[in-house]
Amino acid sequence: MKFNINIKKLSRLGFFLISISLIAVLSSAEQADYKPRTPKFRIIHNNDGTDALANMWFNRKPDLTRADINNYVDLVAESKVVTTFMMCTGSDFVFYRSKYERPFGDDLNDSLDCKGSESERKAFKQYFKNFKSLEAEGTDIIDASLTRAKQRGMEAFITFRVNDLHFADTATHCRVSYPDFWFNNPQYWIGEDNQGMNSSRALDFTHQAVRDHKLALIREQLEKYEMIDGFDLDFMRFIVLFKAGEGSSKAHLMTSFVKSVKLMVDSVSKVRGKKILLSVRVPITVEGALWKGLDVKEWVKQDLIDFISIGAHWRGETATPIAKFKQDLFGKSNKRIPVYGSIDDGGYLPRELYSDGMFKGMASHILGQGGDGLYLFNFYFANYGKVDYQKALNPSGLVCRTRSTRLLNELGSIDKLNTANKIFCASDGVTNSYGVLQVSDLPMACGVGKKSTAFIFIGDPIDKTYPKESILFLRTDRSARMEIEVNGLKITAVQAKYPEDYDRNRGLQEGEKMIAYVLPKNCLIKGENKVSIVARTPNVFVVKRLEVALNYGEVAVNGYF
């Protein structure tokens, strides 16, 4: 396959500014036995906060209320499968009154302009209006959502975006959208625009002042929100911490950073008399994480984190290599922590929103490779959580690309997932946003007389679930004749209409072709399936996508593709 803080500084931050009145509490708490929680299956729902602050799930209804936020959480809770609710705090642009940053959308009484876009200025005004509406009720979206999550029986986590670049585009000339620390300290920007969108204006964690600022925010949030069960460091928003090529040599700085957060978390745990977990979200390979400055093996060795989620950035990874990650992380060690697979809302190049079947295929892939659960990122609803299927379905009525509570329930119910209609997708090898390494056989060149081989993982216990039909989809860069074998069996049954019926032609570029083959029964196995191709045309062609759809029955019973 191709493999495409230090404690003295913390004192300056004032982390140990614990009043005399708390010393007795801390001393008594130290006597308690703080046992780590038993690793368990989790379905994690991550909410980035802005969709809640704009009330997007409820058609942007103005004057956001606590009741609205309760309804947000309730939509997730009603799935009966989500175990963990994570709310983003806004990273540098926070969703609460902070000592260190302006609240999100606050234009300081019109003193901060937005020359680039009047519509963006209006959007920020609405964000802040909703912020103040919640503030009038004595709450904010973090407090309201996590309080409700606890009431509904879910774990409540803060997720902190370590280096968010959504609002680091100087070309917009929208001062209201820029966090103050970032705007006032351009000397701390990386200054090289070779890692992805806005990467030249990412804060460089080489600088102690940057790490101190982030730690101050983290400490403030840990102390402010007493209901939390855990704190999540999301390094994937955005996975730019150092100049390109410097990550490995500066990984010790990020290990020190994580250790500092761990000290904070443990101290707050003792004060509150309960264990608070520390989790991280990092790239999909151990070597890729280290390349970015994240030595996850060292974090596990030092017992700094309680669980880890792996994922890509925005262009999601369709075949998260959980098994490889766990093998590379743990090896033969008995020291283990849960590892979860992150699923974004879309992927591929050009990017497309995932369909229901693709979501279920990715979930089955992650769990089939030994993942301890799922981390759903940007899994948003709209229109009060209702789906108009007459509009949402493709012409064949088989495929839906609108997220629903029905889909959420299918993803989290193992019995339902095993016999749910789904589409497994091999990694396409070209969606490595911000240089995150992928593990992929694609894109794969095929020539005359040369057998080219790629693998696709099937997570279902297929020898027990018996799909009614299994379909192989291939996307090539041009028309081509070929011979195909799957696990040594010759494949010839072409179904010309299936690419359209299953909505696999989406994003086709000029000259590309999508071909569908019906696979013989008992052709596939649970695990890696070998697809071999020999070209029968004189010119080399390239296989760009490789997918397998498992049809278990009617969509009304087994779900949409």
Higher pLDDT, 502 or 24: 502
Q: Please report which confidence band the pLDDT of residue 35 belongs to, taking 50, 70 and 90 as the band edges.
A: very low
Confidence of residue 244 (pLDDT cuts 50, 70, 90): very high
Q: What is the pLDDT of residue 315?
A: 83
pLDDT band at 13; cut points 50, 70, 90: very low
Q: What is the mean pLDDT of the chain?
A: 92
Question: Does residue 16 have a pLDDT over 50?
Answer: no
How far, in Å, CA of 20 to CA of 63, rounded?
41
Question: Which pLDDT belongs to residue 40?
Answer: 83
Looking at the DSSP assignment, which residues form a beta bridge with residue 183? Answer: none
Q: Residues near 491 by Cβ (< 8 Å), separated by ≥ 6?
A: 472, 484, 485, 517, 519, 520, 523
Strand partners, 527: 458
Judged against a pLDDT cut of 60, whether residue 28 lies above it is answered with no
Q: Which runs of consecutive H residues, i.e. helices, occur in 152-194?
A: 180-184
Q: What digits encode the pLDDT tens for the residues 403-454?
A: 999 999 999 988 899 999 999 999 999 877 898 889 999 999 999 989 999 9
pLDDT value, residue 55: 93
Residue 72 has pLDDT above 80, yes or no: yes
At residue 9, the pLDDT reads: 37
Task: Report pLDDT for 378.
Answer: 93
Reported as a single tens digit per residue, the pLDDT across 476-519 is: 999 999 999 999 999 999 999 999 999 999 999 999 999 999 99
Q: Is the pLDDT of residue 553 over 80?
A: yes
User: Nearest Cα to 323, choosing from 43, 81, 546, 1?
Assistant: 1
**What pLDDT score does 117 carry?**
85
Q: Which residue has the higher pLDDT, 215 or 35?
A: 215
- What pLDDT sits at residue 91? 79
Crossing angle (nearest 10°) for helices 208-224 and 251-272: 20
Check whether 321 has a pLDDT greater than 70: yes
Instruction: Determine whether 395 is exposed, middle or buried from the number of CB atoms within 10 Å of its CB (0-12, 13-18, 19+).
Output: exposed
Amino acid letter at 508?
A: L
Confidence tier at 469 by pLDDT (50, 70, 90): very high
Structure confidence at residue 431 (pLDDT): 78
User: What number is the average pLDDT over the span 345-359?
Assistant: 95
- Mean pLDDT in residue range 250-260: 98
pLDDT in tens, 278-301: 999 999 999 999 999 999 999 999
The pLDDT of residue 23 is 30
Residue-wise pLDDT for 86-120, tens only, equals 999 987 889 999 999 999 999 999 999 998 788 99
**Span 537-544, average pLDDT:** 95
Spatial distance between the Cα atoms of 57 and 72, rounded to a whole number of angstroms: 7
